[in-house]
Structure 1
Amino acid sequence: MQILMVAVVAIVLMTAGWRWQRRHDNAGIVDVLWASGVGAGAVLIALTGAGAAAPRILLAILGGAWAGRLALHIWRRVRDAEEDGRYRALRAHWHGNQGKFYLFFLFQAGLVLLFTLPFIAVGANPEPGMTLWLWAGLLIWLAAVAGETLADRQLTAFRADPANKGQTCRRGLWRYSRHPNYFFEWLHWFAYVALAAGSPIGWLAWLGPVVMFIFLRWISGIPYTEAQSLRTRGEDYRQYQRTTPMLFPWFPKSDPDSKSAAAKPEEPDIRGMK
């Protein structure tokens, strides 16, 4: 029953989003609606779950707040900007076929269902009161959402400066990871693993971090983002790739290509010496 309710909400949201993108030629709205749908799923499952009150209250608050922040952040980027390069490429590949775009939006509705499965595990958790696991989930959530918010703000501020056009952000968290926002988004899903500790279907909660890592690392996150960055920033982004960890934050390393170029002896200019 819970899955059916979330499915109806997701399909309605994505159908409305598909109609919006037809009018505005901007499929970026799908990201706003994905976050909104998952957040709505968290609240619905918290309200209808059979578990104890404490984990369900935390689920509603944390899942709803995470989704609201993310959806608002993406909406500010989508509403007045050109369509993201990933979706422009799809539009060109599909020659603007709206039937294919609608199937794409329905696929995103399916992803909403997939990412609400961890919430079902939390909603069924019978553990009463604020256990250590619930406190752990809250702390993980706070750290992850704070990190993702900081990374988003640093990148937004960098892009707002016209002097940085065509350059790669290496400020703040972006000095230590090429995708710190993705890292903290992935980390955030471990909060629901902790909130589901004690649930008879607690294993479902592990789908969150596992599936999110697969999507970010190999499917819809990093591959598309880096391909677009290489198209728009070229050698500057290649140098960033050589020196900065891809996902997990760590200290940047020196660029081996720049070292070899500096070590290469300069050839004499023999023009006019014959």
Structure 2
Amino acid sequence: MTGTNWAALGVNLAACAAVAGAMLLATFAVAVRRGLHRIVDIAWGLAFAAVALATWLLSAGHGDDWRRLLVAAATAVWGLRLAAHIAWRSRGHGEDPRYAALLDKAPGNRTLYALRTVYVAQAALVWLISLPVQAASYSSQPLGPLAWCGIAVWALGLAFEAVGDHQLARFKEEPANRGRIMDRGLWAWTRHPNYFGDSLVWWGLYLLACTAWQPALAVLIAPVLMTLLLTVGSGKRLLEKHMADRPGYAEYAARTSGFLPLPPKTSVGGTR
């Protein structure tokens, strides 16, 4: 016995596919009306929060109530914070260069190309990455040491992500820092504290779903996929490509870890 209600979970998987799809289609409609596809980045966190809420409601009576509440709350807090941060950061800005470059490659209708390659793809990713959230909610197993380890990992990841975002925002607010590379605080230990924290969040949520080997194996793809997206997908790789030509970035990259937080390297003379 795994303690997981697989039949009810199957219904939840279908329902959450519809929720994720509806969220991204609604975002697509707003983006087309405004002519601004960067708002899909705000919808990313909101879609995860919506899936978590739907799962919490649908899993009532099927899983341990404390586990259901913890996983739903943890996902919603992460998703809403991320959405609010991106909305604040992008206020007053035009189209994101990533989406502009993507749409410039459209072989036909740009709008349909955006729908297919951005919105449908992100809806599928939300559903797939949220598998631990859904699976954990349908386990009748009471919370144990592994679950509390998951919450600790989630909390560390959320703190890393939020602090990193806050430090970068404060740095950019200073006129004297215009054109300079942020290399202070957490950014002295890793070039991407927000992405590292994001990855930890989803490994923490994954641990909440590890109530037996079957669900643990079934949803392992979620944190692995999120980590790959952040490191070799649309996260770290694209951002560093964009930053590569900035003065001082090559030196910063040479002394600072690319993902995992590590003490900054020093030169022969002992200076950073």
Q: Distance in 1 between matches of 2:166 and 2:259?
A: 18
2:107 is equivalent to residue 100 of structure 1: no
Which residue of structure 2 lines up, in the alignment, with residue 55 of structure 1?
Answer: 67
SS at match of 2:232: helix
Q: Which amino acid aligns with 2:147?
A: L
Shift of residue 229, structure 1, vs aligned partner = 1.1
* C-alpha distance after superposition, 1:154-175 (max 9, x if no partner): 0111112222222110110001
Shift of residue 186, structure 1, vs aligned partner = 0.3
> Of 138, 143, 146, which residue of structure 2 is paired with 1:133?
146
| Equivalent residue runs for 1:193-204 within 5 Å | 193-199=206-212, 200-204=214-218
| Equivalent residue runs for 1:177-256 within 5 Å | 177-199=190-212, 200-231=214-245, 233=246, 235-254=247-266
Q: Is the 8 A contact 2:158 2:197 kept in 1?
A: yes
Q: Distance in 2 between matches of 1:142 and 1:224?
A: 27
Q: Distance in 1 between matches of 2:74 and 2:146?
A: 15
SS at match of 2:104: helix
Which residue of structure 1 lines up, in the alignment, with residue 17 of structure 2?
Answer: 7
Structure 2: stretches of 5+ with no match in the other structure: 1-10
- Comparing 3-12 and 67-76, the one that deviates more: 3-12
2:42 is equivalent to residue 36 of structure 1: no
Structure 1: stretches of 5+ with no match in the other structure: 260-274
Identity over aligned residues, as a percent? 31
SS at match of 1:3: helix
Q: Distance in 2 between matches of 1:9 and 1:197?
A: 24
Q: Is the 8 A contact 2:41 2:83 kept in 1?
A: yes
Q: Which amino acid aligns with 1:32?
A: I
SS at match of 2:244: helix
TM normalised by structure 2 equals 0.86
Shift of residue 255, structure 1, vs aligned partner = 5.5
Q: Looking at CA atoms only, which structure, 1 or 2, has the larger radius of gyration?
A: 1
SS at match of 1:127: coil
2:108 is equivalent to residue 91 of structure 1: no
**Pair 1:238–1:26, CA change in 2 (3 A):** farther
Which residue of structure 2 lines up, in the alignment, with residue 18 of structure 1?
Answer: 28
**Pair 1:255–1:21, CA change in 2 (3 A):** farther
Q: Which amino acid aligns with 2:239?
A: T
Q: Which amino acid aligns with 1:228?
A: H
* C-alpha distance after superposition, 1:186-212 (max 9, x if no partner): 011121222123245232342232111
2:184 is equivalent to residue 174 of structure 1: no
SS at match of 1:246: coil
Aligned length: 254
Q: Distance in 2 between matches of 1:19 and 1:46?
A: 27
Q: Which amino acid aligns with 1:146?
A: A
Q: Which amino acid aligns with 1:77?
A: R
Shift of residue 80, structure 1, vs aligned partner = 2.0
2:131 is equivalent to residue 117 of structure 1: yes
Q: Which amino acid aligns with 1:80?
A: G
2:180 is equivalent to residue 155 of structure 1: no
2:53 is equivalent to residue 71 of structure 1: no
Q: Distance in 2 between matches of 1:152 and 1:99?
A: 33
Q: Is the 8 A contact 2:103 2:110 kept in 1?
A: yes
Q: Is the 8 A contact 2:157 2:201 kept in 1?
A: yes
SS at match of 1:201: helix
**Pair 1:254–1:24, CA change in 2 (3 A):** farther
Q: Distance in 2 between matches of 1:195 and 1:15?
A: 30
